[in-house]
Structure 1
Amino acid sequence: MERFYLDHAATSPMHPSVIDRMMSVMAANFGNPSSIHSFGREARHSLDEARVEIAASIGANRQEIVFTSGGTEADNTAMIGVAHSYQHRGKHIITTEIEHHAILHPAQFLEKEGFEVTYLPVDKQGLISLADLKQALREDTILVSIMFGNNEVGTIQPIAEIGSILQNHPAFFHTDAVQAYGVVKINVNELGIDLLSVSAHKINGPKGIGFLYIRDGIKHKPHQLGGDQERKRRAGTESVPAIAGFAEAVKIAQQSLLEKNARYESFKHLMIDVFNQAGIAYSINGSPEHTLPHVFNISFPGTNVESMLVNLDLAGIAVSSGSACTAGSIEPSHVLVAMFGKNDERTKNSIRFSFGFNTTEQEISQAAEETVTIINRLVK
């Protein structure tokens, strides 16, 4: 049976060039980058090259990049590390109801430590209100964490406007850019971002590696203690092959940004055309104007998400009901609940299709047609 992978927002296959780069580094640069001998210096050179490449992709300086084990660690470090370092200035944090659990769970952890967290609501498109943000800001607000693009519905928040608002406030601005990085142009200085989280496996890089951008001068208490790696900000010997592969994935993503985004948008139009021709009922979740090009979340009235996922999988089509990190949960998506309310049918019948570099028009067309067949069978 032919299989189609349309769940790139959950994770993406490694690009062949990334694999080649990692294999060459594993074979030639096995030294510890903290060692002063030639083997260590060679590994350090690979590490430094990668850091420069990655920093340039967001308009940062290389010393502002801290390598982590992925997006979750980067989010945790930003939330908890900054909160602990600046609690003398205040203990109020602002985030949103639709964040990834890598933000929501640290926020709940900090609440148990005596911090106060404001969770901004979103409208039916998944967008926060800038007026709500302004109203929530207080003198003791030390951190605002608002995701760049939502991993389930693809809605892109007004990041530039948020950064502009916070320029006149001492609170730091963190954004979880795990889903947006590599498909949206990001410059931390132009957008007023102080901290930014990224994971490599979302952009055809290896799993287990990511980075946290921390604007120079911002303090954070490391929660991983040991050696002096990452300028004493994150202990542990760096995974040089993974970091080198990450940098290769970044280079490819930056070079193909415009071309692949246009292709992803064409995939959405192709699916819509198939659905319209078949006459099935559907509605698109998220913002029609401000959305990630590779994420397509669709509600199919009269269906059930579990039945849809099982039937699509049996047909060889890999999709998702939302965040892969909550796969298997019988609870409705917290993102869709925040957008529509707990009792809305869309929280129980929405499917996320997401595209990648190796997705083809034929796969999209066949997947859309198979989806129509399954919906007609389930609705009857």
Structure 2
Amino acid sequence: MAVLGRAAAPDVVARLRPQLEKLCQIDDPTDPQALADAATALCGGVPAAVLSVHDGTIVAAAAAAALLGLPAAPPDALARARHKYAARRALAAAGLAGPRFALLDSAEAAAAVAERVGLPAVVKPVNGSGSNLVRRVSDVAGLATAYRELAAASPGALGGMYDRKLVDPDTETRLDPTRVFLVESMLTGREYSVELVLRDGEPEPVLVLDKFLVDGDHFECGFCWPPLDLTADRVTALAGTAAAAARALGLDRTLAHVELYDDPRLGPTVVEVNAGRGGGQLIGPLTAVATGVDPRAELIALATGGPRPQRAAPTLPPPLATLTVFGAESGRLVAIEGLDEARDHPDVISTVVATAIGEHLDHSYETFPINFLVAGLETRAELSQTYRELADTIHLVVEP
């Protein structure tokens, strides 16, 4: 059963209806009471769980579950993780290494913020997701320009995720995510991610992945396991930092996908904590076959208050990787060419198409159109070559 906002695209609703026993739409899917009422009506009584894995409604779903007396991740902790400025404060208070950071509320404030944070720097929405609208800047003029670009692009982006005021769970102050952005000093080094299961107050690092392929927009196109050229002590340090970050934010009874740099100066440093869900693309299936831990089963058990799911033995040996191919153009998808040939690639284990004909595709990374799980590639060169071959094979045909 599912609850959607009334603003959901008609093609999305039509695609979901055949997959669900019941579906209803409400005016505001970020309203916890409205979600609780809709879930109760759908089930004819109190449901076993209210759960979302969409970044824009994860906090609301947890709050709705709490209203109904159901097991749930602490809504304030999820809100703290989603509020990147509040998260930075919490991580710093816990003594974790991090970049300098500040809020930017106008282009005119760029010089003062640059002096406080330092340059080069990264500018991002305070509650963004998936590297959406992230900008890297090297001077004050670039920071001012980035502010204007984000202020112009954020209204309506990511399904309207920035259009509502954002409440800081610790100070109860409110800000407008379409007018106030987070600026952080630039981290350097290699990028990694850690998948966590949080149960009974204890974070369990399940998998450490190498972000071996990041595109020009700073978005992840490929993750691999085990991490390339990384010693066991560095893997342990990254996992430990991810777990410490989850504790600092107060997370429990949920999953988290933690993104980090192994910065040469700071050491393992958190970029962000995506709480309430596991990693996107095919990180969930990769985690299941690599470790025997099924993130979906874990999340459902945590949301319903059930025991820890029985864990299977790993089914595929390392090395494994997940690759995502994006289109080169924006527009309405009218055809996917080359998919059968890509599925037949000797390195491909499985393929997941996460888009549909008629869907609008652009470069905001709201969808991960074509995803591949690949095996047997041991070096960065081999992984990059296979990615190029798959990207060259797939053609997403769009109407502008």
TM-score, scaled relative to structure 1: 0.30
The structure with the greater share of residues assigned to helix is 1
Name which structure has the greater RCO, CA cutoff 8 Å, separation 6+.
1
TM-score, scaled relative to structure 2: 0.29
